Structures are given as C-alpha cells and as structure tokens.
Structure 1
Amino acid sequence: MKPTQKELTDWAITQIQEKYKDDIALLIGISGHSLENDCHGECFDYFVPANENGNKLAQTFIIDGVGHDLYPRSWKRIENMAEFNDDFTNGLADAKILYSRNEEDKKRFVEFQIKLMANLKNKDFMFKKALGKLDTAMDIYRTMMFEDSLYKVKMGAGFIARYLSIAVACINETFFKQRLDLETVELSQMEEIPDDFITYFEEIVKAKSVEELKKLCYEIISTSRKFIAEHKPSKVEELKTPIYKDLAAWYEEMSLTWRRIYNHCDTHNYQRAFPDALNLQHELNIIKEEFGLQEMDLLGSFDATNLSGLKQRVQELERYIVSEIEGHGVAINKYDTLEQFLAKNS
C-alpha cells in the first residue's frame, strides 16, 4: 500500500525537526507534480539547506514501487530559477512551502517567487532568455550534424525540440508546468507558436532515420528563429542617441582594413582579400546594431575568381559610413600628409 502524501510530508518534517532543526531552511512541494496517485512530488520535492550539514537530509528511496528523491536546492539554485537560468521554473513558480525554519526563510523564498513573476512579465528579459535557448539548440544542432548514430541524433533532436519549446514559452511569457507530458501538449495552448512547430516536434518524435531527424531539426530551428526575430521587443523609448564621434573613431581605426581590401582586389589576391573582408563584415554587423545603420552585406559580393564586385561593394559601404558620420556633423580626423598631422598635433 502506497503511503499518503501527508504521511510522507510528516515524516520529512519530523526528520528535519529532530535531526536538522537549524540546518534546513525550507521543505518544498510542487503543486500538480505527480503521476496519477503515485504521491511523488506533491508530498515533497526538494529542501533548501541552511548550511552544509543540511545536505545530509538528502535521501532516495522506493516505497511500493514508487521512487522518491528528497534532494537539496541551494539558495543560489533558487535564485537561478527566479532568473530563468534553471529550466525547472515550475519548481519555484508552483512551489508550496511545507515547512519553514522561520519567517525570514519563508519571506526570502516568496521574494524569489515574486521576482520570477516580475521577470515573466518583462518582455526584454524573456526575449533574451528565448535567444539563449535558441543558441543552445543551435549548438546542439551543430554537434549533431556530425553524428551518425541514430540514438545520439535522436537524443540531440529531442533536446533541440525541448530547448526551442522553452524559447517559445519565453516569448509567450510563460513556462512549462507539467514535466511528464510531451511539450506539445502545453505548446498547443499557448497564444503564439512558430509555424508548423508542433508538427515538426511530433515528426521528430516519430522519425526513424538519422537523415530525417537532421532535416526536421533544421526545419524546427528555422521556423523558431523566424518566430523569435519577429517578436524582438521595440526599444524606441529606450534607444540611446548614437555618439557619432565613436563611429568616426571606428572608421579611423578600420581605415587600413578598407585600404588593404582595395589593394587585394587590385592585385587579384583573394587569399588576402577574404580574411580582411571577413573581419570587416563582422565589424559592420556590430556598428549596424550600435548606430542603427542599414543592413550592410559585404561578403555576398565576394567572388574569389573576380574581386571587382567586392571592390565596388566596399566602396559603396565606405561612402555610406562616411556620409553617416559627416551627415551628423562630425569631422573625420584625417590628413593628406604627415606634415599636416604634425602641424596640428605638435
């Protein structure tokens, strides 16, 4: 006969009171975290130790075929949950305090719950968390593409779908409340999800070949990237006025790179042109974001067999950068001769 939730909770509390009264801050249960009537989760899930000795309360055991894990979560881990750096979000959001050492411990825990809910309503915060999960999924994808074993690819695909699901939940300013179901159950109830996301997820679960899984992972990442990009928060009200003197300084610093690329193009040296063009493209991407500039596609014009297109594009982009600087009333610090420089700077 399985023990009741109350019996297990009473046992855990008695252990704390008799053996760890000064060592355990909280005993936590999680609402709804059980499989039918197995008593797991709702009786207790974890405890918060007040010191190192409190970790000794931890136990794993099986009663009538049901496994239980009474394990510690430090205050730092609780904070990570509030900051969405721990995917066990419902472990804080849906937590119930079953025992507290004192009111101060209880208050501290509740404050983390309040912090979690405040973060949940912060669009900028949740967007950044969604990007983080997308990055994690893409990292797994990059590694998975070199795997040939079905079970490894299947595992990678499963985690890709899971992290992307969390990203979608972040955009919806929510979290997964039930860890026992496939994420598609709760995804179907969310207000907005990427196109065909649930279909791709279900097909990943059912896929039987490495090739099929890799293709589906590409599709589910692609639709997720588009979805997340479309939900980038508007920051018009927070936009800082660009300091175009900084853009001028950037141009002055990078001027040698522009000159080198021109020379590489004129001498048809693609082996030197490509590294410089690669670096310049990276820099252009950065200043685009910092100064709100237009899209600057440089490498799209690179052709190792004919560098004339690259040179033309570099000239166009340089004129554009200079016009942005001078158009905002900033003079570029340049001189035709060394004598001019020395005359002004001596």
Structure 2
Amino acid sequence: MKLNQDKVVDWIRDRAQREFPTDVALVLLYGSYVNKTTHRLSDVDCYFIPATDRGYAFAETFIVDGIGYDVFPMSWERVGRIADLGEPLLPLVGDAEILYARSTKDIERFNALKNRMVDRLADVEIRNAKARTQLENAAEELRDVSASTNLHDVRKHAGAAFLRLADAIVLANGTYFHQGLKRHFENLADLPRIPAGFHGNYTAAIRAKTPEELLDRLQSALDATARFLDAPIPKTNPSTDERHTPSTPDPDELVSFYEELLSSFNKIRVNAEQGEWRMAFVNGVNLAREIDGVCREFGFPPLMFLDVYDPDDLTAFRKRVEIVDKELTALIERYKPIPRHLDFDSFLHSLR
C-alpha cells in the first residue's frame, strides 16, 4: 500500500512538471499521507490550483488495488474562502504540503493565504461570526431530523448537525481539526473550552437506538452550543418536501463519483475492523450524505445502512455497507463499467 502511495505521489508530481508546467499553479498534498496517519486502505489526498482553463484537465480519479484516488481542482478563489474560514476545510490550507509549484510567486500567494487564515483564527470577532454560521447550519440539520421518517435519515441529519456544532466549537477556540476527522473526538477533548455536556450528548447521540433519544441529545447539544457562543438559538423554516425531477446521469461523472467515494467505504471497513464505533458512525454519516445526494439527483432507489448501526457490534453495519457498495456499483455500471486496476503499473498502462 505504501509503495502504491509513493508511486502515486511521484506520478502526480511528474505529470504536473511534464504535461501541465504552466497550466497548474500548485499541487498540494494533505491528510493521512502528510500527517503519517495512514491505514491499510488509505489513499493520497491531493488537490491542485489551476492556472488556466486547460489546467482543469489535470484532474484524475482512479482505483488501484481497491483504493480510490481523487486529484481534484480548487480555484484560488475557493482556497481564499477557506482561508477566510468560509468552509470547514481548513487543513487543506493550513496543513497542506506543496508537491509542485509553477513559480515562487504561486508559493508566496499560497503562503499569504495560510497567514491570512491564521489571522482570521486569531480575530475573535471573525471566528465567532463563522462559528455562529456553523451553529445555524446545525439548526438546519436539526430541522431535517424532525422531519425524517426513518432511522437512517435521522442519524444522517443528526450526525451532520453534530459535525457542524463541532466545527463551531473548534472555531470559537481559535483553531481547527488539523487532521480532519482522523482525530475528531480526541481533538474535541483537548479543547480548553467546550459547551457544558457536549461530550456526553455527542456520545449518547451516537449510541442512541431511537429517533426520540437522538433528537433530545441533539437539541440539548445545540442549546448548549448557542449559550457557549452567546448566540440566540437559530430559527429555521419548516422543512418542505420539494419535488425533484431526476437528471440524466453522465456516465463519466458517475464513475468518477464512485472512484472518489470509495475512500469513504474504505474508512468504514477499517473502522469496523478496529472497533472504532464513533468514527464508524461519523464516516457513515458522510457516506450516507454523498450516496443519498446522488440517488436523489438521478432517481436511484434509496440505499440505507445507518439504520443497522450498532456501536456495540459493527458486524451488521459493515455487512450492510458492503451490500450498499455492491448495489451502488451495479447502478453506476448500468451506464459505464468502473475501471479497477490491480496495481499502479496497470493503471499507467491503461493511460497509454
């Protein structure tokens, strides 16, 4: 696995230098490969900043030895929004390592954004305003919890709400989750300030067996976070069941979606093997949001799995996730087969 990762990183760098030397401003690595927290199914987290329209063609998704890789673009404008705390993706700026740079000016521009992010985090007024935005996002998810009719959807929306509350809390402390979700709960525990009862409510919500208990814990956590931020409890409009006309799938986009999503399936596989019940829940929530979104977009049947989650025995959850993987694969391969390469050399051969 480590050998494939190193080969992927070398290939990404060489391809930028050889095929896109003036079209890509920067290529950056982040995540487990950079912070040395890989597991047996870890991918390489990588994005790039295009310098021209042609630079967007540097994007690539592929599967090698059961691991999905996604080299994706982010514009300078989006990186700037992250630096201004506009998206909870701060490690992609604050902890990224430059793999390739078109020029020293591009490096200086990126480092200026990193410094700007540090300044924003140090500004109490700015960071608290962004924290309150995350509180409002959590309230929107709480609204959807109340409108949900099955345990899968309840857990999906409640889990997303707790993630937004966690983002609010960490921002209010002037920092962020440097390793993303990898050490999510440990990082929360290390914060100097946290809303009263938040840890207990979060844990109890993950372990909750019924929608009622989960909703109660989420409401308590949201109220406590609002008090912590000295903010009013956000008002939300009632949830509406808007009719959606399914789109016609683009076969290439569907395949790329799966190649990118495979890392989420793999995280749950590793969580189940290691008995990491809290991270299995969190990663399951993120996987459900992605799958439910594409099913709704293209009119696919719902693929539910959070309803069988049991923190004391992840066996049934793991099995259901495997079934969902196969069912999603079958839906996508109605339109186009998903290429799977045994090793990195066979992937390179497919590009010739």
Q: TM-score interval w.r.t. the shorter chain?
A: 0.5 to 0.7
Secondary structure of the 2:166 match is: helix
Q: CA offset at residue 6 of structure 1? A: 3.8
Letter in 1 for 2:174: E
Query: Normalising by structure 2, what TM-score?
Result: 0.62
- Matched residues in 1 for 2:87 and 2:27: separation? 19
Contact 1:34 1:40 (8 Å CA) reproduced: no
Distance 1:126 1:164, change over 3 A: same
- Matched residues in 2 for 1:148 and 1:94: separation? 40
Q: Map residues 314-333 of structure 1 onto 2, 5 A cutoff.
A: none
Letter in 2 for 1:208: K
1:56 alignment partner in structure 2: 57
Secondary structure of the 1:125 match is: helix
Contact 1:33 1:40 (8 Å CA) reproduced: no
Q: CA offset at residue 175 of structure 1? A: 0.3
Secondary structure of the 1:179 match is: coil
Which deviates further from its counterpart, 26-35 or 212-221? 26-35
Letter in 1 for 2:100: Y
Identity, in percent, stands at 28
2:39 alignment partner in structure 1: 36
2:14 alignment partner in structure 1: 14
- Matched residues in 2 for 1:118 and 1:206: separation? 38
Distance 1:37 1:103, change over 3 A: farther
- Matched residues in 1 for 2:182 and 2:102: separation? 34
1:86 alignment partner in structure 2: 87
Contact 1:127 1:170 (8 Å CA) reproduced: yes
Distance 1:29 1:54, change over 3 A: same
Distance 1:215 1:179, change over 3 A: same
Q: CA offset at residue 3 of structure 1? A: 2.5
2:132 alignment partner in structure 1: 131
CA radius of gyration, larger in: 1
Letter in 2 for 1:17: Q
Contact 1:24 1:49 (8 Å CA) reproduced: yes
Secondary structure of the 1:27 match is: strand
Partner deviation per Cα, 1:124-169 (whole Å, 9 max, x = no partner): 1111011111111112212321222111111111011000001000
2:100 alignment partner in structure 1: 99
Secondary structure of the 1:188 match is: helix
1:211 alignment partner in structure 2: 212
- Matched residues in 2 for 1:138 and 1:7: separation? 44
2:244 alignment partner in structure 1: none
Q: Which has the higher contact order (CA 8 A, sep 6+)?
A: 2
- Matched residues in 2 for 1:6 and 1:126: separation? 37
- Matched residues in 2 for 1:183 and 1:217: separation? 18
Q: CA offset at residue 214 of structure 1? A: 1.1
- Matched residues in 2 for 1:187 and 1:92: separation? 20
1:66 alignment partner in structure 2: 67
Q: CA offset at residue 183 of structure 1? A: 2.8
Question: Unaligned stretches of 5+ in structure 2?
Answer: 232-352
- Matched residues in 1 for 2:162 and 2:168: separation? 10
Partner deviation per Cα, 1:9-40 (whole Å, 9 max, x = no partner): 22112211221111100010123175335563
2:143 alignment partner in structure 1: 142
- Matched residues in 2 for 1:151 and 1:199: separation? 22
Letter in 1 for 2:215: K
Q: Does 1:77 align with 2:61?
A: no
2:253 alignment partner in structure 1: none
Q: CA offset at residue 5 of structure 1? A: 4.3
2:158 alignment partner in structure 1: 157
Letter in 1 for 2:95: D
Alignment RMSD, CA only? 1.8
Letter in 2 for 1:166: D
**Alignment: residue pair count:** 228
Partner deviation per Cα, 1:309-344 (whole Å, 9 max, x = no partner): xxxxxxxxxxxxxxxxxxxxxxxxxxxxxxxxxxxx
Secondary structure of the 1:145 match is: helix
